């Protein structure tokens, strides 16, 4: 399992920052941004291989389940 920043959101933020740098803004002048969207991903295949049972309540809350 992993719980963290949504990858697509992080990529969009990175693209916006790169665009500002390419337009001439100094990197030191760009404020640090924190992730605002998070996601829970469960790799059920690996859990089964390791003999770990993931509760149904966790699977229902997951944004993505890897079968």
The pLDDT score that the predictor gives to residue 59 is 95
**Inter-residue contact 33 to 5 (CB < 8 Å):** no
Measure the CA–CA gap between 21 and 27, rounded to whole angstroms.
6
Percent of the chain's residues with pLDDT above 70: 100
The pLDDT score that the predictor gives to residue 36 is 87
Angle (CA) 41-43-47 rounded to 5° is 135
What residues contact residue 26 under an 8 Å CB cut-off, 6+ apart? none
For the chain, the first-to-last Cα distance in angstroms comes to 12
| Domain parsing of the chain, residue ranges | 2-66
Kindly state the average pLDDT of the residues 20-40: 94
Inform me whether the pLDDT recorded for 60 exceeds 90.
Answer: yes
- Torsions phi, psi for 35 (to 5 deg): -65, 140
The pLDDT score that the predictor gives to residue 2 is 93
Grade residue 4 by pLDDT with cuts at 50, 70 and 90. Answer: very high
pTM for this model (two decimals): 0.68
């Amino acid at each position: 399992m992993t719980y963290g920043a949504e990858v697509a959101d992080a990529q969009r933020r990175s693209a916006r920052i790169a665009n500002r740098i390419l337009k001439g803004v100094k990197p030191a002048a760009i404020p640090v941004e924190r992730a605002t969207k998070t996601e829970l991903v469960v790799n059920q295949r690996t859990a089964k291989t390791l003999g770990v049972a993931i509760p149904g309540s966790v699977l229902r809350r997951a944004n993505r389940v890897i079968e």
